[in-house]
Amino acid sequence: MLFTLAMILDELAGLDPVCNHKTQKDVEIQGFFRYAEGQKEFHRNSIYVCSNEELKNWDNQDNSVIFFTYGLEPEEIRNVKNYCYIFRKAGSEIDIFNRYMELQAEYNYWDKEIHLDIINSCSLEKMLEYASMIIEYPIQVYDPSFRILATSRHHRKQLSDFQQASALGYTPPDFISEIQKRHMLPKIQETGRVIVAPAVNNPGHINLYRAHRADGQLLGYSCVFCGEDHPTRGYLDKVELIMQNLDFYFKENQKHMVLSKYMYESFLISLLSARLPIDSRIISDRAKIVRLPLKGEFVLVQLNFNEKDHFLLYLCRLIQKYVPEYSVFVYEEYIYLLIVKKHSEKSVEELAAGIIRHLQETLSYYHFSCCVSNLFFELTAIYDAYQICVRLEAMRNYFSFDPGIYSYRDWKTALHYLEYGEDVDIRALLMPEIHKMKLYDAEYHTHYLRTLSAYFENNCNLKQTADALDLHRNSAANRIEKIQQLFRLDLNDFKTCCNLCETLQMMNLLEPERQNS
């Protein structure tokens, strides 16, 4: 592992180095040695540590040799043609040598650990943890369209710019448009090294940017937030060292993408095709490998194209280009897209609707229908979501419906689905708001679900609802208002009320089964 001269001086700044001549600090140091008295041969671009007496008697003219010493003033060695650094706070050459060896050992260990973790497919967040070991400033990593991929969590500098960007969780559109307006992206891409630029949202602050490429393909960007501090040359070299490791991460990640995609597809297909339960430990281990959460908010989208056979894989690759943040895969005769809510203000259903609209616009010359499952909260429920999509498509064909977007948001259709027949967990058809209400009641010991049931049982009459719950009328009204606010329900909407009512009725059928299970 090679250090630049500037980086070494930056790390040894506590020993107060002073130079006798101006040097090119970006030179990479090939070696660090103890000078032997009478030595005639030297390695180029190397540092030799010597005593002050040895340096005074030095008469070699080789400018590629750099000396470190102590106990002198620059005026005493003006006649020495070589570049020489005097460390005024060092007591002996051993102090200098020991400090450098500590530095070498620390960085070699860091470099070895980070390379091993990259080879073992560590996460981007883990990479940023390594970065925080040697620089105190926070970092964000972006994809080629400048959407946030990862954010450092452990850093010694607390900067308001970074905290705002980190709290938001995604890159705002005005940030990207400002970067484009300043023509920063071409500059970052062309340089190939760390560049210093004013922060987009605060011109008085400094950011360090770097593009990451593999075989000419742009894979992402990194940004170090420095605030009001202006980094030294040595500090920039240290950041460059981190960025080179991020380059290696992106390149290795690119190599593993084909294997990862295969593992992702085979894992989901095993869940789609498994009617019998799979061992939970196996599911947990494989989910970690493909980096899928076991719990969260999920929606499964099935795309059914008129074009089949050899066109299907081509269409799958084509769709993957349009939605690179999600994995697209083929199972049986359909293309599937599992949408997982990550860092976004939008619900997973809104994300799904946006993606489908985008695909309809970009693939307007293809004829296809979309079948969208209900929202589900555990990855293992993907089997039920898959059955919903398959049945929707079967009903579409059975009733000769035109291509379009089909889902079970309408409970009448859901009941029709049950009549049409398939062994599926009925809980997958429950309205997600009811599921969230159950979880909320369990966590905060509220009684919103019971209140809502009583409200519908008493024909939406607040006084009768209050009597049934042994509450004051105002208390019952407040609860109903709170339910509408918390779960975004409009109880003045007839269709919403019908869906809620039927969901609650279905739950009454399920509860005894749950208690007996």
User: What pLDDT is attached to residue 392?
Assistant: 78
User: What pLDDT is attached to residue 506?
Assistant: 67
d(CA 163, CA 140): 11
**Collapsing DSSP states into helix, strand and coil, what is residue 488?**
coil
User: What pLDDT is attached to residue 478?
Assistant: 92
DSSP-derived secondary structure for 392-429 = HHHHHHHTTPPSSEEES-SHHHHHHHHHH-----GGGG
In terms of C-beta density within 10 A (0-12 exposed, 13-18 middle, 19 or more buried), how is residue 314 classed? exposed
**Collapsing DSSP states into helix, strand and coil, what is residue 195?**
strand
Say if strands 206-214 and 195-198 run parallel, antiparallel, or are unpaired.
antiparallel
Tens of pLDDT, residue by residue over 217-234, are: 788 889 898 888 888 888
d(CA 158, CA 160): 7
Which pTM does this prediction carry?
A: 0.50
User: What pLDDT is attached to residue 238?
Assistant: 87
Residue that the structure tokens 């709290």 belong to = 167
Token pair in block for residue 361? 């616009």
User: What pLDDT is attached to residue 117?
Assistant: 86
Residue type, 11: E
> For the domain bounded by 3-104, which CATH number is listed?
3.40.1390
Q: Find the DSSP H helices in 71-210.
A: 93-119, 124-134, 160-168, 173-181, 184-191
Taking domain 121-256, whether its CATH number is 1.25.40.10 is answered by no
User: What pLDDT is attached to residue 327?
Assistant: 77
CB 503 within 8 A of CB 434: yes
Q: Which CATH number fits domain 293-424: 1.10.1740, 3.30.70, 1.10.3470, 3.40.50?
A: 3.30.70
Question: Could you tell me the residue ranges of all domains in the chain?
Answer: 3-104, 121-256, 293-424, 432-516
| CA distance readout (Å), 227 to 160, 163, 302 | 8, 11, 46
Q: Which residues of the chain have pLDDT under 50?
A: 411, 511-517
Tens of pLDDT, residue by residue over 30-64, are: 888 888 877 778 888 888 888 877 776 666 656 67
